Amino acid sequence: MPNLDSNIEFLKGVGPQRADTLKTELGVFTCRDLLFHFPFRYIDRTKFHRIRDVHNEGETVQLRGTLRRLETLGEGKAKRLVGTLRDETGIMELVWFRSVQWLEKSLSVGKEYIVFGRVSEFNGKFNIPHPEMEEANPDNALKAKNFDPVYPTTDKLTQKGLDAKGLRKLIRTLLDGLSASDLPETLPDYLGAQFRLMPRWQALNNIHFPETQAELDAATRRLKFEELFFLQLRLLQVRTRRKDTMRGFVFSRIGNFFNQFYQEKLAFELTGAQKRVLKEIRADVASGKHMNRLVQGDVGSGKTVVALMTMLMALDNGHQACMMAPTEILAQQHFEGITALVGDLGVNVGYLSGSVKGKKREAILAQLASGEMHIVLGTHALIEDWVQFKNLGISVIDEQHRFGVEQRAKLWAKNPGGPPHVLVMTATPIPRTLAMTLYGDLDVSVIDELPPGRKPITTMHKTEHHRLRVQGFMREEIAKGRQVYVVYPMIEETEKIDLQNLMSGFEALSRDFPAPEYQISIVHGKMKSGDKDFEMQRFIKKETQIMVATTVIEVGVNVPNASVMVIENSERFGLSQLHQLRGRVGRGADQSYCILMTGHKLSHEGRERIQTMVQTTDGFVIAETDLRLRGPGNIEGTQQSGMLRFLLADLARDGQILAAAREIAAQILEKDPSLAMPEHLRLRQHLASEGKDARVWSRIS
């Protein structure tokens, strides 16, 4: 019998051809890979249906009865074998279109059979095409106590005889050849006892071939806990190691820049949440340890002011600061906003992007290298090799999910004197379970208050039927001096059609809102950057009343005078995107509105998304719903994370297990940071064997 690390080819029943297909189709290279190819559902063999209780086409049933009739009908391609199964409640027709001659010889009228299959309907009567048939006897009465696992498979595997049944047979062969010593325990005994966890060997057997629902539940719980626990242990180890070994610049003083800004330039009172987050940042940068902090805050919660005040701490201690944004529009907006905020404080603020050329660029680069420039705002141009700082103390990364990890790493390595502190910000609310996973090694701050005076945005759902009323409402708001966004979807796969829809919408609006009384801007991703900026600026300067756009305006456009957001075909947007778009309005003191336009027919999920938007403006509630509906792999910005490819765990449903796993991992590392205690030998061994190839990027957020 091959061991778990043997090539899958050498498992009995596989061979070279099947092995190649398993490798290419499922990524199963070794026997261990096959063992951890878990079922996605189970057929309950413990349950028998009565024929008279079968009412639904498509349901899978298990019957027990006597074969009363068996005859061949039709000829050629229309040839079929038809049988009748009878139990004490009724009769069910059985039909086969293949292997007719073999089945005629194998099946016997008058015998009792266990029949398993999917119900179909033909001419108003139920039947089961190609059922599994087993003669009822004491042996398969034992089988009726089991749950049959159903495994993910593909057409190519099925052609090789490795459908769900074929995979089941291979895994049964594998498990029959293994013993408990081949699958040693990974968790300390005290942990298994504390959480009442099934032993690992037993759990791996029962996840594949449980005999009862209770066994299946216990096995699933054990393996989910293990998966989430070791993930959190690794993340927290990285965090502990970074805090213990990585020195950070010490910002020991709060000086003139910070104090003068706070006392003289800040025109509003900070919210309690902003003050709390600034205290957390202050403690980090004064500690002598390297800061790696994520700040989450809903649209309009005041993250930019927190970022500026953090950068002023760096300036007060003789360091430079930079802030990187994903788009020129957002970077330019940060530059203008921060320049206006600092006023005549004596802070030299610069802007750098790919479009800054010639002598202007040379002057900025020279000032950064000499230290004359205190703060630079820019796009990914900041990470180019030709940008050099004299003494970069802090890097702020806005809308961090828009950047690849390697891009962020380059910014982290910019300073010749050591790594700058890192503050990453996102206006995309992240569910707690996702934050614990994606950012489990970071310190996380949440700005969960909106500045006083902001009115909640009123959100409405309207269909095409209400089009004239919506346009009337737009005219009313424009008459008050307000401005309106009208946003269309632009999805890559249907880009051409979407662009046509956008242009058609623009033309229709131009007819309904004619010049010279109304002026309309249009912005989409296919436009040249200069043209986009020109149209944006027209809207910002109030030269146009309506902005027709795609989601290019999702992040970073700040027009406090805009009070209406109309989202066309809103059922085609994800919740996170809808929330971001809604955040483009409600940025001033006026009441703002978001109108979600859809067709009359909505899928169940589409309707739930729209209802969620209408019912709440809380970004975290929306993010939790988004996670439940779409799954973590589809949440914006998380696709790149290998951490989300779980075998069993589901972040939308397993929040309690994740929280318990993280808490116990933190307790263990606090007591035994290097896992040197004898009772933690298993943890150390498992991390060493499973983590050889792990590449932890998370140190650089």
Are 225 and 195 contacting, i.e. CB atoms less than 8 angstroms apart? Answer: yes
Average pLDDT over residues 470-478: 96
Instruction: Tell me the per-residue pLDDT of 151-178, one tens digit each, with 9 for 90 and over.
Output: 888 888 888 888 888 899 999 999 999 9
Are 460 and 591 contacting, i.e. CB atoms less than 8 angstroms apart? Answer: no
- How much is the pLDDT for 592? 94
- Range with the poorest average pLDDT among 192-196, 260-264, 553-557: 553-557
Closest by CA position to 346, among listed 426, 265, 420:
265
- How much is the pLDDT for 639? 42
Question: Does the pLDDT value for residue 145 go beyond 70?
Answer: no
Higher pLDDT, 2 or 487: 487
Q: Is the bond preceding residue 429 a cis peptide, omega within 30 degrees?
A: no
Instruction: Tell me the per-residue pLDDT of 212-229, one tens digit each, with 9 for 90 and over.
Output: 889 999 999 999 999 999
Higher pLDDT, 557 or 294: 294
For residue 296, what are its two tokens? 């989450």
| CB within 8 Å of 181: residues ≥ 6 apart | none
Neighbours of 682 (CB within 10 A): 18
Question: Does the pLDDT value for residue 663 go beyond 80?
Answer: yes
- What share of the chain has pLDDT > 70, as a percent? 91
> Strand runs (DSSP E) across 383-464, as ranges?
392-398, 421-426, 443-447, 458-463
The DSSP string of 11-75 is STTTHHHHHHHHHHHH---BHHHHHT---SEEEETT----GGG---TT-EEEEEEEEEEEEEES-
DSSP-assigned letter for residue 287 = T
Neighbours of 529 (CB within 10 A): 13
For residue 329, what are its two tokens? 């529009």
Instruction: Tell me the per-residue pLDDT of 480-508, one tens digit each, with 9 for 90 and over.
Output: 999 999 999 876 556 677 778 888 899 99
Question: Does the pLDDT value for residue 148 go beyond 90?
Answer: no
- How much is the pLDDT for 564? 96
Average pLDDT over residues 664-683: 93
- What share of the chain has pLDDT > 90, as a percent? 48
| CB within 8 Å of 119: residues ≥ 6 apart | 54, 56, 57, 58, 59, 60, 61, 126, 127, 128
What's the burial of 400, exposed, middle or buried (CB within 10 Å: 0-12/13-18/19+)?
buried
CA distance 2 to 605: 47
CA distance 146 to 458: 54
Are 520 and 548 contacting, i.e. CB atoms less than 8 angstroms apart? Answer: yes
Question: Does the pLDDT value for residue 405 go beyond 60?
Answer: no
Average pLDDT over residues 620-636: 71
- How much is the pLDDT for 141? 55
Residue corresponding to tokens 């957390």 = 280
The DSSP string of 361-386 is HHHHHHHHHHT---EEEESGGGGSTT
Are 683 and 667 contacting, i.e. CB atoms less than 8 angstroms apart? Answer: no
Are 596 and 565 contacting, i.e. CB atoms less than 8 angstroms apart? Answer: no
227, 416, 663, 681 from 233: Cα distances, Å: 10, 32, 10, 14
Closest by CA position to 665, among listed 258, 349, 346, 230:
230
- How much is the pLDDT for 643? 46
For residue 154, what are its two tokens? 């593909």
Greatest alpha-carbon span in the chain: 99
Mean confidence (pLDDT) of the chain: 86
Higher pLDDT, 412 or 580: 580
Are 183 and 200 contacting, i.e. CB atoms less than 8 angstroms apart? Answer: yes
Interhelix angle for 619-630 vs 575-582, to 10°?
160
CA distance 408 to 329: 20
Higher pLDDT, 645 or 628: 628
- How much is the pLDDT for 44? 77
Closest by CA position to 550, among listed 563, 569, 534:
569
Average pLDDT over residues 649-677: 89
Q: What share of the chain is helix, strand, coil (3-state, %, to 5)?
A: 45, 20, 35
**With bands split at pLDDT 50, 70 and 90, how would you rate the model's confidence at 312?**
very high
Highest mean pLDDT of the ranges 188-197, 489-498, 553-562, 638-647: 188-197
Average pLDDT over residues 26-52: 89
Closest by CA position to 305, among listed 286, 323, 320:
323
CA distance 373 to 390: 10
Question: Does the pLDDT value for residue 320 go beyond 70?
Answer: yes
- Range with the poorest average pLDDT among 37-46, 236-245, 304-313, 430-439: 430-439
Question: Does the pLDDT value for residue 596 go beyond 90?
Answer: yes
Strand partners, 345: none
Closest by CA position to 642, among listed 694, 572, 683:
694
Question: Is the entire prediction scored with pTM above 0.85?
Answer: no
Instruction: Tell me the per-residue pLDDT of 425-454, one tens digit each, with 9 for 90 and over.
Output: 887 777 767 776 766 667 888 888 877 777
Higher pLDDT, 76 or 205: 205
Are 546 and 552 contacting, i.e. CB atoms less than 8 angstroms apart? Answer: no
For residue 364, what are its two tokens? 């900025």
Ordered alpha helix ranges (H), 385-490: 405-412, 432-438, 467-479
The DSSP string of 96-140 is ESSSHHHHHHH--TT-EEEEEEE-EEETTEEEEES-EEEE--HHH
Closest by CA position to 485, among listed 520, 458, 527:
520
Radius of gyration of the chain (CA): 32
